[in-house]
Copies of this chain bind each other. A is one copy, B any other.
């Protein structure tokens, strides 16, 4: 398994059709929650004051992570930064 830290900054264009916007946001939520239920997206937090999230992904590989991120309904409107993580020597979780 591979653990990644992902920051997503969202910037939806002001002139996006409101229905398309609403539908995209609904699909994004559904997509995220399905991956959370599968355990592949175990953590998602909002950064205070920003239309941004910090997430942890727990996936088979970087290839799978890329498939997931490219599939995000909001992908065209996001800047995404990926950081590879590994176990910390002080972590008490085995």
Interface contact B89-A69, CB-CB below 8 Å:
no
Report whether B45 and A92 are in contact in the complex, using a CB–CB cutoff of 8 Å: no
User: Is B46 a contact partner of A88 (Cβ separation < 8 A)?
Assistant: yes
Residues of A1-42 at the interface with B, using a CB-CB cut-off of 8 Å, are 1-6, 13-14, 28-29, 32-33, 36-37
Cβ of A85: which chain B residues have Cβ within 8 Å of it?
Answer: 45-48, 54, 62
Q: How far is the CA of A69 from the CA of B33 in the complex (A)?
A: 25
Q: Which residues of B contact A91 (CB under 8 A)?
A: 36, 44-45
Q: Which 10 A-B pairs have the closest CB atoms?
A: A49-B80, A48-B84, A45-B85, A62-B84, A49-B82, A66-B86, A46-B88, A32-B90, A44-B88, A49-B69
Smallest CB separation, A74 vs chain B (Å): 11
0 or 1 for each of A39-68: is its CB under 8 Å from B? (1 = yes): 000011111111001101000011101100
